[in-house]
Chains A and B, each alone.
Chain A
Amino acid sequence: MMVHDGDDATLMRSIAARDESALADLYDRHSVPLYSLIRRIVHDEAAAEEILQDVFLHVWKVAPRFDQARGQLRGWLLVMARNRALSHLRKRQDMQVDDLDVYAIPSTGVQETIAEQNELRAKIHAAIEEMPPELSQLFELAYFEGMTHSEIAQRTGQPLGTVKTRLRSGLTSLRRVFQP
């Protein structure tokens, strides 16, 4: 078994070299937020566990193609987890945007430490908690149920334009969380 220093890039290099223990370490590092997100979306423990495994199995498969210099691994994992969970929830095949060729990993931006990611998570939690109820409902339908503008308008009975405007406004306020 190899020794890993816990850095995402190092782990991905080891995984690309087919080191199972590195995948286990990567799992320890990221499985909680991914599992929490998946479970929140699918509301099914067994399905969430299966999807979580699928995500890490996909990492194992594509690790040799992962560009270490680009970083941002957790962002990619979260997008992959959400899309797979929504795909399961809605039986939508068009949500499977989890491959490296499809997901555009940022070439700029900061590679956060785990501590910074946790701080960011706390800020996001606070920002979502502070949302007014009418906006919180729209965000819930969009993020955790994967609904489109039209579907949200139909579900809530709000005009399509109102849905778009409110969601845009909500994203604008959430965006401030990411600003230094």
Chain B
Amino acid sequence: MSEHLQFDEDFELYALGTFDADERNAFEAHLVGCLTCKERLAQAQRRVGFLGTGIVQTQPAPHVKQALLKRVRQESPDQAVSSHPSREQSFWSLFSRPMIAWGCAAVIAIVAIVLASQTQALKNRVNSLQAKMQTQQDAAARDRRVAELLTSPQTQRVALKQPTDPARPEGRVYYQPKQGLLFYAANLPAAPSDHVYQLWLVPAEGAPISAGIFQANEKGEASVLLPTLPAGAVAKAFAVTVEPAGGVPQPTGPKVLLGAV
């Protein structure tokens, strides 16, 4: 299964654990590289989790909490926030021994020298990481927009088919005038040499608006995510045409896919 799951309920079935091994393995292989499906799965996991609250509620016995906190202390005795005076006194008393005190002082001095020499390198590293973090934040914001578009009940979902052959190829548009557009296509042959595919938003009034150019990959799959479009454009249809490389201001080539809203 290299494609997205088709129905929202499929994500819930996976989260529920009802997929048999072959379905589960295929979906998990797809998940590795698909942020969109990960996001949709996350929403499904949350819903499936909450389904478990619709049962008779039972209070656990008080001793369970005490046992938990005891286990926490055993798990990380040095990390938990709680005061243990006798242990602290024992630790600090080590510094009253001259050899240990001089040893610690020497170690601290060496560490200070090393840290000073590394300050500039660390600053450079911080700048680099900040730039990387900004890039990742931008990517995350984009992923969130994609997920919102896919899951919002306000999103228009339009199936695009080849006018002369409804069987294939096919495409799907998710569109909200205020949030943007997602387009996925499958079974597309490679565009002719020096040509590209071009996606069009056909508005309720006026000339078609270009929503981007694209090429199909070797599997015949293609996508256009969040292209720049006039804000609030109301669509009555979407189309894909074959156009000269670089695209054209208005459609000139044959329609490969077409779908009315």
Interface residues of A (CB under 8 A from B): 2, 17-21, 23-24, 27-28, 31-33, 35-37, 39-40, 48-49, 52-53, 56-57, 60-61, 72, 74-79, 81-82, 86, 95, 103-109, 117, 120-121, 124-128, 142-143, 146-150, 152, 164, 167-168, 171-172, 174-175, 178-179
Shortest beta-carbon distance, A84 to chain B, in Å? Answer: 12
21 contacts between A and B (CB under 8 A): A2-B81, A18-B80, A31-B60, A35-B64, A49-B64, A52-B60, A53-B68, A57-B75, A72-B46, A78-B52, A106-B46, A107-B39, A108-B43, A120-B53, A147-B18, A149-B18, A150-B20, A171-B12, A172-B9, A178-B50, A179-B153
Minimum CB distance partner of B37 in chain A: A104
Task: Give the interface size class of chain B.
Answer: 35 or more
Shortest beta-carbon distance, A74 to chain B, in Å? Answer: 8
The residues of B that contact A121 with a CB separation of less than 8 Å are 50, 53-54
Q: A53-B71, A60-B75, A175-B8 are in contact. Are A20 and B80 (CB under 8 A)?
A: yes
Shortest beta-carbon distance, A7 to chain B, in Å? Answer: 18
A95 to B144 CA separation, bound complex (whole angstroms)? 28
Contact of B45 with A36 in the complex, beta carbons under 8 Å? no
A107 to B42 CA separation, bound complex (whole angstroms)? 8
Rank and list the top 5 A-B pairs by shortest CB-CB distance, nearest first: A78-B49, A124-B54, A75-B46, A104-B42, A125-B54
Contact of B7 with A24 in the complex, beta carbons under 8 Å? no
A24 to B58 CA separation, bound complex (whole angstroms)? 18
Contact of B58 among A36, A76, A125 (CB under 8 A): A36
Q: A35-B58, A36-B56, A36-B58 are in contact. Are A23 and B20 (CB under 8 A)?
A: no
Shortest beta-carbon distance, B19 to chain A, in Å? Answer: 7
Contact of A52 with B64 in the complex, beta carbons under 8 Å? yes
Contact of B42 with A105 in the complex, beta carbons under 8 Å? yes
Q: A79-B48, A104-B41, A172-B9 are in contact. Are A18 and B58 (CB under 8 A)?
A: no
Contact of A57 with B55 in the complex, beta carbons under 8 Å? no
Shortest beta-carbon distance, B22 to chain A, in Å? Answer: 10
A125 to B50 CA separation, bound complex (whole angstroms)? 10
The residues of A that contact B119 with a CB separation of less than 8 Å are none
A161 to B151 CA separation, bound complex (whole angstroms)? 26
The residues of A that contact B39 with a CB separation of less than 8 Å are 104, 106-108
Which has the most chain A C-beta neighbours within 10 Å: B15, B41, B143? B15
Contact of A36 among B13, B57, B67 (CB under 8 A): B57
Contact of A57 with B58 in the complex, beta carbons under 8 Å? no
Contact of A109 with B46 in the complex, beta carbons under 8 Å? yes
Minimum CB distance partner of B145 in chain A: A108
The residues of B that contact A103 with a CB separation of less than 8 Å are 45
B148 in the interface (beta carbon within 8 A): yes
The residues of B that contact A125 with a CB separation of less than 8 Å are 53-55
Contact of A127 with B17 in the complex, beta carbons under 8 Å? no
B99 in the interface (beta carbon within 8 A): no
Shortest beta-carbon distance, B68 to chain A, in Å? Answer: 5
Query: Apart from A107-B143, A109-B46, what 4 extra A-B contacts exist at CB < 8 Å?
Result: A20-B73, A60-B72, A117-B53, A121-B54
Contact of A104 with B38 in the complex, beta carbons under 8 Å? yes
The residues of A that contact B64 with a CB separation of less than 8 Å are 31, 35, 49, 52-53
Shortest beta-carbon distance, A150 to chain B, in Å? Answer: 5
Q: A168-B7, A179-B153 are in contact. Are A148 and B47 (CB under 8 A)?
A: no
A53 to B5 CA separation, bound complex (whole angstroms)? 35
